Amino acid sequence: MNGTSRSHTLVAMVADHPGVLTRVASMFRRRGFNIASLAVGNCEEPGYSRMTIEVRGTDDEVKQFEKQLYKLVEVITIRDLTDVAAVQTETALVRVRVSPADRPGLADIASIFHGEIVDVGRDTMIVQITGVSETIDRFLDVIAEYGIDELTRTGVVAMARGTKASRNGSARG
C-alpha cells in the first residue's frame, strides 16, 4: 500500500476519563505515528472532550490509524477533516525581543497579521496571533529578525462546516 505522505487533521470526540489521553498517545507511538499537534478541551456535551490531532501519513496509513483509534472504547467518534470543508485555526503566543525603538515596527507587522499585542515589557513584547497554521508560520518568519524569545502554539483545532446533521461522513473508521 502506498501513496504520498501529507498532513491530516483528525477530530475525535472522547469520553472525559482519566487516562484517555495516555491511551490515544500510546496508540500513536505504538503504530509509529508522530503527532504534529494535539489539542484537547471540553466540547458541547458534558463528560466528553474533543481532540484535534494533526498527523502526517499516507491516506492509507491514516485510515488504518483512524480505525485503530476508533477501537479505543473511550473514543466515541472520529473524523478526518483533511478533505472536507472545515475551519481550522490555531493560536500562538510569541515573546519577541524588541527595543523600544523597534516597537512600532513590530506592532505594524502584528496588525497586518491580525495579531494582538498582549504584553509589553522593557525590551520584549508578547504577540498573540490566531489563524491557520500557515499564516502563523509566515508571521514567525517575518518577525524572526527581531529575535523570538519564546514561542508557544496551541496546536490546531478544527471543525467541519455546516450543521452536524448535514454531514454525512461516518463516525466510524
Partner 1 sequence: MTASESNGSTNGAVPARSGGQVICEALLAEDIDVIFGMPGGASLPFYDALYHYQDRIRHVLARHEQGAGFAANGYARATGKVGVATSTSGPGATNLVTSMANDHMDSVPVVYITGQVARPAIGSDAFQETDITGISIPITKHNYLVMHADELPRVMAEAFYLAKSGRPGPVVVDVPKDVFLEETTVPAPDRVNLRGYRPVRAGNLRMVRRAAEVINASERPMIMAGHGVDISGAAPELFELATGGNIPVVTTLHGVGGFPETHPLSFGMLGMHGLAYANFAMGETDCIIGLGVRFDDRAVGKVDEFGPNARVVHIDVDPAEIGKVLDTEVPIVGDLKLTLQALNPLIEHRERRPWLGQLNEWRENHPSLDIPDSPDTVLPQEVVRSIYDASGGDARVIADVGQNQMWASQHFWYEKPRRFFSAGGLGPMGYALPAAMGVQMGAPGEPVWCVSGDGGLLINIQEFNTLAAEKIPVKVAILNNAHLGMIRQWQQFFYEGRYMGAFLDNPDFAKVAEAFGLRGVSVSSRDELHTAIADAHAYDGPVVLDVHVDRVENVYPMIVPGTGVRSVIEDPR
- In angstroms, rounded to a whole number, what is the distance separating the alpha carbons of residues 80 and 8? 7
Q: Which residues bind partner 1 (CB under 8 A)?
A: 1, 14-19, 22-23, 26-27, 30, 45-48, 60, 63-64, 67-68, 70-76, 172-173
- Give whichever of 159 and 171 is closer to partner 1, judged by the CB atom: 171
CB of 19 to partner 1, least distance (A): 7
- Give whichever of 24 and 110 is closer to partner 1, judged by the CB atom: 24
Question: Residue 30: which H helix or E strand, with range?
Answer: helix 20-30
| Residue 173 · residue 103 · CB < 8 Å | no
CB of 173 to partner 1, least distance (A): 6
CB of 85 to partner 1, least distance (A): 26
- Give whichever of 25 and 144 is closer to partner 1, judged by the CB atom: 25
CB of 60 to partner 1, least distance (A): 8
Please report, for residues 11, 16, 115, 121, the alpha-carbon distance to residue 102 in angstroms, rounded to integers and kept in the order given.
41, 46, 17, 13
- In angstroms, rounded to a whole number, what is the distance separating the alpha carbons of residues 96 and 162? 38
- Give whichever of 74 and 137 is closer to partner 1, judged by the CB atom: 74
- Give whichever of 57 and 131 is closer to partner 1, judged by the CB atom: 57
Question: Residue 15: which H helix or E strand, with range?
Answer: strand 6-15
Strand partners, 12: 51, 78
- In angstroms, rounded to a whole number, what is the distance separating the alpha carbons of residues 112 and 161? 26
CB of 67 to partner 1, least distance (A): 4
| Residue 136 · residue 129 · CB < 8 Å | yes
